[in-house]
A = this chain, B = another copy of it.
Amino acid sequence: MKLTEAKQQFISSWGAFGTHWGINRTMAQIHALLLISPDPMTQDDIMEELNISRGNTNMNIRELINWGLVERVLLAGERKEFFSAEKDIWKVVKQIVKERKKRELEPMLQLLDKLEEVEGDKRDKNVKTFVDTVSSIKKLGKQADKTLDMMIKAEESWFVNSLMKMFK
């Protein structure tokens, strides 16, 4: 396979992959493009490569910056802004985990805390089932939260080694 074709496939499937994870296609495609690009790119480079409009490009680059996956790079003597993606995949994964934990897991746990305190007689099976379900989700969620916290702090080598031992 030629590089051009391989690049296309990588970008396109990274985009499709993203849509299964609540990330929009374009954002994932820009990320993919920057991941495989050896040098920082300008907004115009990206627009041209992916055939998308200026506004769309701008919006999604900014979103990638919010997620901490892409950074603005200023090149000496250049007027335009350049963008480049973090290439260390372990760092990328940790960053995504960190953001999603903050945006989704933590608010969910807060809600579950509140819902667990529902009024009512636990002898009522409706109340019982509700409370039991909420409690068990909360318990697993709290464990996940701790585990992810450790993962975020960990070095890849340490993490992989620990898993190896755990699953030997």
Among B1, B7, B22, B160, the residue within 8 A (CB) of A21 is B22
Consensus secondary structure, chain A interface: helix
Identical subunits present: 2
Which of chain B's residues have a CB closer than 8 A to the CB of A100? 20
Interfacial chain B residues near A163, Cβ < 8 Å: 143, 146-147, 166
Chain B residues with CB under 8 Å of A118's CB are 1-3, 6
- Residues of A85-126 whose CB lies within 8 A of B: 87-90, 93, 100, 103-104, 108, 111, 114-115, 117-120, 125-126
Min C-beta distance of A88 to chain B, whole Å: 8
A10 at the interface (CB under 8 A from B): yes
| B108 and A38 contact, CB distance less than 8 A | no
Report the minimum CB–CB distance from A105 to chain B (whole Å): 9
Q: Across the interface, do A104 and B134 meet the contact criterion of CB distance under 8 Å?
A: no
**For residue A135, which residue of chain B has the nearest CB?**
B89
Q: Which residues of A contact B (CB under 8 A)?
A: 1-3, 6-7, 9-10, 13, 17, 19-22, 35-38, 87-90, 93, 100, 103-104, 108, 111, 114-115, 117-120, 125-130, 132-134, 136-137, 139-140, 143, 146-147, 150, 160, 162-163, 165-167
